[in-house]
Amino acid sequence: MKMMLPETCQFGCLVAQGKMEVRTLPLPEIQPDELLVKQEVCNICTTDYQQWQGLREHQGYPMAGGHECTGIVMAKGEAVEDTFNIGDRVAVVYDYCGYCQACKQGEVTGCENIQQFGKNYSGTYYGIFGFADYFVRKAQSFVKLDTDLSPSEAAFVEPLSSVVQNLNKLRLRGGIDTVVVIGGGTMGLLNAETARAFGARVIVSEIMPKKIATAQAMGFETITANAEDPIQAVKNRTNGRGADVVIVAVGATIANNQALQMVKAKDGKISLYAAGYPAPEMEIDSNTIHYRRLELVGTYGSTLADFATAAFLLNTKRVDVSKLVEKQFPLGQIHEAFVCASTPGSFRVSVVMNQPEEKEEGK
């Protein structure tokens, strides 16, 4: 019997600051190079809820947002060979043209022809419809995930890919480097977990008890930054030397300046991983960078190779994100999901599609 395929999708849409709606659109016919995916989960990223808070209104309305999503392949075009099959679990890669200079170098999040949060699927809506229960995309815009992973864990491919890029740029030395991560939120602990998988010693500096408890449950050394001097604590734990690498995973001026004092005196590296609104500052002059041979590393986005590595790390459980899932909400409660996700101290919140309209707690 031929499977009945959906003709429409329901999707979460941000129509104005603080206002989420669930809307319906017809699904397009599947083209030869496309997949129809029954989307299971989309996690709410900081980018998503900051626009909901009115901090990123430059991204545009109405925003059919969400990009940390995963689902099951329901149908595929005739040009898609055995790379993907019906029943595979997949996660979304950003859309890209494949032939511009950036794409030729694998820098798909910098595609020159497809805007990352543009109107790529609709003349009306911005975004890539991560909060849709069904969606049709090009097969090149997916990576395959293990069906043993929970959907909420599988949805970490996109944020993990950006962490992989960050750590590759930092050139971590397994068994040698001590890494301090400032900020124990989702992305801070994801950086910490991945740095440990790369072989580094990792220390997490944080002020919120809940985040400190989660970091400790994940097996990390921690510094309670409002109970002890975090700079001196790092020096004490590194025999006065300082950290080889500091990853600033919270967008704040105080964190940037702490990093300058935590990192070792010469040949240290600081990753400015997190953006902040308003933009954080950093108190440093070029002579200091020069004489300390200091590396200030900026990172944003991911390459195709980063997405593949992220999928591998999740599939093999080398990176375990199970403790970074806060709660789950059905699509019909997407407003409540955004309230939860934007509450200080929250980890990732999942919007669950194709599920009964009941709130589920995942942690």
Indicate whether 66 pLDDT > 60. Answer: yes
Contacts of 59 (CB under 8 A, 6+ apart): 47, 51, 117, 126
Per residue in 153-208, pLDDT (tens digit) is 999 999 999 999 999 999 999 999 999 999 999 999 999 999 999 999 999 999 99
The residue type of 269 is K
Rounded to whole angstroms, the Cα distance separating 126 from 113 reads 15
Q: What is the DSSP string of 110-135?
A: G-SSS-TTSSSS-SS-BS--TTBSEE
**Token output for 277:** 């609104």
- Phi, psi at residue 10, to the nearest 5°? -105, 140
Indicate whether 59 pLDDT > 90. Answer: no
Contacts of 177 (CB under 8 A, 6+ apart): 200, 201, 244, 245
For the chain, what percent of residues have pLDDT higher than 90?
A: 87
Q: Say how many C-beta atoms besides its own lie within 10 A of residue 7's C-beta.
A: 8
Per residue in 279-331, pLDDT (tens digit) is 999 999 999 999 999 999 999 989 999 999 999 999 999 999 999 999 999 99
Do residues 271 and 297 touch, judged by C-beta distance below 8 A? yes
Q: What is the DSSP string of 272-289?
A: E----SSPP-----HHHH
Tell me the Cα Rg of the chain: 21
The pLDDT of 85-97, averaged and rounded, is 94
Per residue in 156-170, pLDDT (tens digit) is 999 999 999 999 999
Indicate whether 149 pLDDT > 80. Answer: yes
The confidence score (pLDDT) of residue 362 equals 46
Per residue in 332-354, pLDDT (tens digit) is 999 999 999 999 999 999 999 97
For the chain, what percent of residues have pLDDT higher than 70?
A: 97
The confidence score (pLDDT) of residue 55 equals 86
The confidence score (pLDDT) of residue 278 equals 86
Indicate whether 360 pLDDT > 60. Answer: no
Average pLDDT over all residues of the chain = 93
Rounded to whole angstroms, the Cα distance separating 343 from 150 reads 24
The confidence score (pLDDT) of residue 357 equals 43
Per residue in 211-241, pLDDT (tens digit) is 999 999 999 999 999 999 999 999 999 999 9
Indicate whether 116 pLDDT > 90. Answer: no
Taking CA atoms, 190 is separated from 4, 298, 309, 325, 351, in Å, by 39, 17, 14, 12, 20
Structural domains for the chain: 8-156+321-352 (3.90.180.10), 163-298 (3.40.50.720)
